[in-house]
Amino acid sequence: MIIHAQELRKTFTTRNRKGATTVEAVRGVDLDVERGQIFGVLGPNGAGKTTTIRILATLIAPDAGTAVVAGHDLREEPAAVRARLGYVSQAGGVEDTTTARAQVVMAARIHGVPDPKGAAADVLARFDLSEVADRPGRTLSGGQKRRVSIALGLVHGPPLLFLDEPTTGLDPQNRANLWDRIRELRDAGTSVLLSTHYLDEADALCDRLVIVDHGRVVAEGTPGELKREVSGDVVTLRLDETARAAETLKPYARETRVDGDALRVYVDDGEHTLPVLLRALEEQGIGLSSIALDRSTLDDVFLAKTGRSLRDAGAAA
Amino acid sequence: MIRHVLLFTGYELKKTFSNPIWPLFSILQPVLYLLMFAPLLKSLTPGGTTAEALRMFTPASMMMIAVFGSLFSGFGLIADLRNGSLERHAVSPAWRPALVLGRVARDMATLVVQAVLVLVVAVLMGVRIGVAELLLLLLLMAATGLFASSLSQGLALTVRDENGMSQTLNLFMLPVMLLAGLFIPISFAPGWMQAVAPVNPLYHAVEAGRALFAGRLSDSSIPISFAVFIALAALTTMWSMRSLRRIAG
């Protein structure tokens, strides 16, 4: 177990002219991350993902709870935790005016790496950055900058890497490329804790994940387990009378859910249930404008656990 | 601990001098003051010569770079707060105060280089100063710079916003500058200003600087200014180190 966290809590108080407002950012989070896993923390913006990662990275002291990170207690030995950690924040930590190489060499020196220049050259080459390494940070593209920030977190060869929203703002190619890099890291034995609000990212990349909402863990498991828990398939219908349709289809479904102007019907075997659903709607004379059949996604898990779609939750936060 | 401070000092210095245009610009200002403002002061000085005016104005311009050069260095820290590199260093084995102290040390090193350059210009223009006086002057500038730089780092970590920071600095700079008698000695000022001036720490530094250039080593302004600035520098350094806790518990 490379991270074992129990009952982490953090409340922020902000004061302004209107008085103090308190935000319970993290409300009792438990996390167990096995060595050699890519472990995801999935949730909408404002769910407490970043706060949880910042607590585990020793940047914020939790109000309550305990955690052992990379073999050391967070409260008792923060320095030992920091020495064994690679931390890549959402901002990335790449300076504008200095070259990528100078920054990576400096990171290696701080960590007391025996051959800082050699280690920096190695990690930069590993992330295909050798050619741009001597350019100042501000001249790098978004994808290059992202890779520099990961190189900065890896130059000292930590057993555990934190990635806070690593692919936010990247185009699809760069995202796919970064996913491959992260898998390579795991294959080389590095444990990775990453936060994301992208469903496909959590699904494709993570060996195991927790879904968080409003500072709490609402579900935990492998992506496969979580999706099986909800149901095999989901039929999404757009129609005139959503409420009456939901009543009509209830007997055929494990669950029905109204999501905005769409009706989502969860069934075990979509291919064979679809004709039955259509017939039932026709008998009731309910007009249908579109229909789609999909495998259930992590969004359906989120919807089942919180009553909201992750996309809506993200937009509201 | 010391290793980390040196590491960060070296890193920051390399950053500053990788583009020597900017530190050059910041020394240009006091040099321009010497060249273009001192002659204007001729008629105000007792002897009425440019050399006399320079002797009054050089110490003021030295203190000006010590305070105002370093006061702006916190902007770099705000940039690093924004791009996340400060946070990144906070999650490393680095001794955390070194993140701030490295910057302060860089400012003091830059300051010494600038001071020497300004002095060379002043000497070329006919100003003379003794060796003991020179060393004391550099020490006083170092204390002043330490105060101004750590004040700036603390302010940056507290305000965390470029606009707020520049407004705050502007608010304080003008009265501090005028009440220090930087351009025109306070002895020319009306009674109430003369009464208020001693509250301004910079006033003591400028007075001590003038005493040093005049060779009055026993002048009381020298120990007063050292005491004031060492105390202030200690306070602001502590404050800037504590302000770091706001970004990293």
What is the per-residue pLDDT across B128-140, written as a single tens digit (0 to 9) for each?
A: 888 999 999 999 9
N- to C-terminal Cα separation, chain A: 33
From the candidates A90, A110, A150, which should be mutated to test the interface with B, based on the most B CB atoms within 10 A? A110
Structure tokens at A117: 């220049």
* pTM: predicted TM-score of the whole model, two decimal places: 0.86
State the ipTM, two decimals. Answer: 0.88
Strands A160-164 and A85-88: what pairing?
parallel
Contact between chains at B87 and A85 (C-beta distance less than 8 A): no
pLDDT at A317: 45
Q: What is the b/e burial string over B56-75, where b = at least 16 CB atoms within 10 angstroms of the residue's CB?
A: bbbbbbbbbbbbbbbbbbbe
Of chain B, the percentage scoring pLDDT greater than 90 comes to 48
Listed residue (A54, A157, A277) closest to B90, CA to CA: A54
Listed residue (A183, A179, A214) closest to A198, CA to CA: A179
What is the number of CB-based contacts under 8 A between chain A and chain B? 73
Task: Determine the residue type at B113.
Answer: V
Apex CA A76: angle with CA A73 and CA A80, to 5°? 65
pLDDT at A315: 53
Least confident among A259-268, A286-295, B32-41, B90-99: B32-41
**Residue B152 to residues A180, A304, B42, B226: CA-CA distances in angstroms?**
43, 51, 35, 20
Nearest CA in chain A to B10: A106
Given a contact cutoff of 8 angstroms between Cβ atoms, the answer to whether B146 and B104 are in contact is yes
Structure tokens at A316: 């509201």
Distance between CA atoms of residues B36 and B49, nearest Å: 14
Of chain B, the percentage scoring pLDDT greater than 70 comes to 97
Nearest CA in chain B to A89: B84
Q: Which residue reads 């898998």 in tokens?
A: A183
Residue B157 has pLDDT above 70, yes or no: yes
Domains in chain A, CATH or no CATH each: 3-222 (3.40.50.300), 232-295 (3.30.70.260)
Structure tokens at A120: 């920096």
Distance between CA atoms of residues A93 and A221, nearest Å: 31
pLDDT at A305: 81
pLDDT at A214: 92
Note the helical H segments in A88-130.
100-110, 116-126
Nearest Cβ partner for B93 among A60, A82, A97 = A82
Task: Determine the residue type at B242.
Answer: R
Query: What is the span of the domain harbouring residue B162?
Result: 2-246
Contact between chains at A93 and B83 (C-beta distance less than 8 A): yes
Tell me phi and psi for residue B124, to 5 degrees. -60, -30
Give the list of residues 6+ apart from residue A76 with CB closer than 8 angstroms, or none: none
Given a contact cutoff of 8 angstroms between Cβ atoms, the answer to whether B134 and B52 are in contact is no
Strands (E), A18-59: 19-33, 38-42
Residue B47 has pLDDT above 90, yes or no: no
10-residue mean pLDDT profile of chain A (317 residues): values are 94 83 91 95 90 94 94 94 94 93 96 96 95 95 94 96 92 92 94 93 93 93 85 84 86 84 85 88 87 84 80 59
Given a contact cutoff of 8 angstroms between Cβ atoms, the answer to whether A197 and A44 are in contact is yes
Residue A116, chain B, CB below 8 Å: the answer is no
From the candidates B1, B5, B75, B91, which should be mutated to test the interface with A, based on the most A CB atoms within 10 A? B91
Nearest CA in chain B to A90: B84
What is the three-class DSSP state of A249? helix
Number of domains present in the structure of chain B = 1
Nearest CA in chain B to A96: B83
